């Protein structure tokens, strides 16, 4: 397994439960947590409710609030890992540098950053869809002489109090960071290329009574989880295909601007000019008030270049800064792990996907890459619900695949090319009608050809149903070799 976030940890636990104890989880970072370890910026918190953003098999009665802060999610994952008894099969601080399928031996040969090599009949990649920070290609960025770091690589040593700070980006990360920086910066410049839609964060801290109920009456926690799940499923997926249904959300977002910002010019600057939902809908009660503060400027002029001392915009203005926070997102449609995984013909996933765009069967398996399972693979992302639900659906599919291989004496399983093609044709057909395609925005959901290869266009319930059982008929297989007598 590659990665020790929700995906890799979940896979370890599920394999262990079914008696498949001979596995190794390789994690490049120094501990459990994946994205919830890497993203430790001030204000980091989940924008999916805590009850849903946790494993169904490991409920947590101790969440402090309806949306959990990052340190609580990281601590939750560490605790679940410790209690699972699987930690002895995790190796931290080493990265996978190459994983090549050996079609003669019918196994994966995996090379690690410490130059060691291991072999595995099955490779589960849970390297994360949002794990590799994307730096903007802005002239002069490497010349900046002050403190500079990406939101996902927060420099906790940096002294920010009383400093002149700039944040580039106004996505989900930036809108959590900006209110925190505003409190301590002498001046904060927020460089906005495209305004996000931001609705209120309907959050509350759990009371002692609620926590007592979650701890002692498991049904209460289960009911809360189910209610949140269905609340999201019945409304949000529908409006990706029928944007008019988004009218109430749009009104909520506009009201959020009016409540948070009094100045009409600033209101106009931060009001998006594309359909709500086209980019990820963000949630915050503190972002707009922070932008309206005296020490904050929202800069919408295009960035021309970065100098050793500041940022120059297209109109020639230079704003001097001490600290530059780059909140410009991640490599999403060209996942870095794809450069290291080589299939039956020796080509990397990245090369195979370079022409066709990233694609997989059921977001999990790829033709030409036997016994490879990708957790949070192509078209499994969500804008409205919990990725943990998707991950658990994939875990059910993968464990059933391994069970099927054991029972059927199969050495390899690989999705048929035509089955994978049909799956993706259907997905892309559905995509054309969604707000992600028709909403008039550019987003990280789309690849360079404008294809949405990141999101799941239907309800998560449908995804779960489709991955409930491993469908061996969709696969070409080879039997385990038997000795010649
Ligand atoms: O990254 P983003 P993120 N010059 O790609 C701007 C998840 N997440 O880290 O919109 C100037 O969304 C870019 O502008 P534009 C969540 O899935 C979850 O914020 O492309 N600006 C945009 O404003 C989320 O969607 C939580 O015009 C440039 C920003 O940088 C995903 O992570 C919390 C630029 C990038 O926004 C990524 O969010 C945080 C340039 N050259 C994140 N290049 C939860 O709460 C880019 N930008 C669960």
So what's the pLDDT on residue 237?
63
Q: Above 70 in pLDDT, residue 9?
A: yes
Confidence class for position 164, pLDDT limits 50, 70, 90? very high
Q: Above 60 in pLDDT, residue 116?
A: yes
CA 308 / ligand 1 centre spacing (Å): 24
Mean pLDDT of the residues in the chain: 94
CA 171 / ligand 1 centre spacing (Å): 4
Angle, in degrees to the nearest 10, between helices 387-408 and 6-17: 40
Which of 66, 285, 328 to probe ligand 1 with, by most ligand atoms within 8 A of CB?
328
So what's the pLDDT on residue 310?
98
CA 326 / ligand 1 centre spacing (Å): 10
By the 8 A CB rule, do 37 and 373 touch?
no
Q: Which residues pair with 305 in a beta bridge?
A: 312
Q: Tens digit of pLDDT for each residue in 222-265?
A: 888 888 888 777 766 666 867 777 888 999 999 999 999 999 99
The residue contributing the CA closest to ligand 1 atom 7 is 172
Give CA separation, 420 vs 147, 290, 381, in Å: 46, 47, 18
So what's the pLDDT on residue 236?
64
By the 8 A CB rule, do 375 and 7 touch?
yes
CA 54 / ligand 1 centre spacing (Å): 23
Question: In this predicted model, which residue has the larger pLDDT, 286 or 218?
Answer: 286
Confidence class for position 361, pLDDT limits 50, 70, 90? very high
The residue contributing the CA closest to ligand 1 atom 46 is 328
Residue 179's contacts (CB-CB under 8 Å, 6 or more residues apart) are 43, 284, 286, 287, 289, 290
CA 169 / ligand 1 centre spacing (Å): 6
What is the rounded CA–CA span in Å between residue 300 and residue 281?
A: 20
DSSP one-letter string for 394-445 = HHHHHHHHHHHHHHHTEEEEEE-HHHHHHHHHHHHHHHTTSHHHHSS---TT
- Strand, coil or helix: what is 300? coil
Tokens of residue 468, six digits: 């409930």
Residues with CB under 6 A from ligand 1: 46-47, 130, 136, 138, 151, 168-174, 191, 193-194, 280, 303, 327-330, 444
CA 79 / ligand 1 centre spacing (Å): 29
Q: Tens digit of pLDDT for each residue in 32-66?
A: 999 999 999 999 999 999 989 999 999 999 999 99
Q: Which atom of ligand 1 is nearest to the CA of 47?
A: 45
């Amino acid at each position: 397994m590659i990665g020790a976030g929700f995906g890799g940890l979940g896979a370890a636990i599920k394999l262990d439960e079914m008696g498949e104890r001979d596995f190794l989880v390789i994690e490049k970072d120094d501990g459990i947590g994946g994205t919830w370890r890497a993203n430790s910026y001030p204000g980091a918190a989940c924008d999916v409710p805590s009850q849903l953003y946790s494993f169904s098999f490991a409920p947590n009665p101790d969440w402090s609030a309806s949306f959990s802060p990052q340190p609580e999610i990281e601590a939750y994952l560490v605790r679940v890992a410790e209690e699972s008894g699987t930690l002895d099969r995790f190796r931290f601080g080493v990265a996978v540098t190459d994983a090549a399928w050996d079609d003669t031996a019918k196994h994966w040969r995996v090379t690690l950053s410490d130059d060691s090599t291991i072999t595995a009949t099955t490779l589960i990649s849970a390297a994360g869809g949002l794990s590799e920070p994307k730096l903007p290609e802005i002239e002069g960025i490497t010349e900046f002489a002050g403190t500079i770091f990406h939101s996902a690589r927060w420099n906790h040593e940096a002294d920010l109090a009383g400093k002149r700070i700039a944040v580039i980006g106004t996505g989900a990360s930036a809108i959590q960071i900006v209110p925190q920086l505003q409190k301590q910066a002498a001046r904060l410049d927020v460089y906005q290329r495209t305004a996000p839609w931001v609705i209120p964060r309907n959050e509350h801290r759990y009371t002692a009574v609620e926590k007592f109920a979650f701890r002692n009456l498991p049904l209460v926690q289960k009911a809360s989880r189910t209610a949140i799940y269905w609340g999201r499923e019945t409304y949000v997926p529908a409006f990706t295909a029928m944007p008019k249904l988004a009218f109430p959300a749009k009104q909520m977002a506009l009201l959020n601007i009016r409540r948070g910002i009094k100045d009409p010019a600033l209101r106009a600057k931060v009001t998006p000019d594309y359909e709500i939902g086209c980019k990820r809908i963000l949630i915050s009660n503190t972002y707009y008030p922070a932008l309206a503060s005296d020490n904050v400027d929202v800069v919408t002029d295009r960035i021309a270049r970065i100098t050793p001392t500041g940022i120059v915009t297209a109109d020639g203005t230079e704003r001097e800064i001490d600290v530059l926070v780059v909140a410009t997102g991640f490599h999403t449609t060209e996942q870095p792990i794809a450069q290291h995984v080589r299939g039956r013909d020796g080509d990397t996933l990245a090369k195979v996907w370079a022409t066709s765009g990233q694609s997989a069967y059921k977001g999990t398996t790829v033709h030409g890459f036997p016994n490879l399972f990708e957790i949070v693979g192509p078209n499994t992302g969500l804008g409205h619900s919990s990725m943990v639900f998707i991950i658990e659906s994939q875990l059910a599919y993968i464990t059933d695949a391994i069970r099927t291989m054991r029972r059927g004496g199969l050495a390899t399983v690989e999705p048929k090319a035509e089955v994978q093609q049909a799956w993706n044709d259907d997905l892309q057909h559905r995509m054309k009608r969604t707000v992600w395609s028709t909403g008039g925005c550019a987003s990280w959901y789309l690849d360079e050809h404008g294809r949405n290869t990141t999101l799941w266009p239907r309800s998560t319930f449908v995804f779960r149903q489709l991955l409930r059982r491993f469908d061996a008929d969709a696969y070409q297989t080879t039997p385990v070799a038997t000795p010649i007598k």
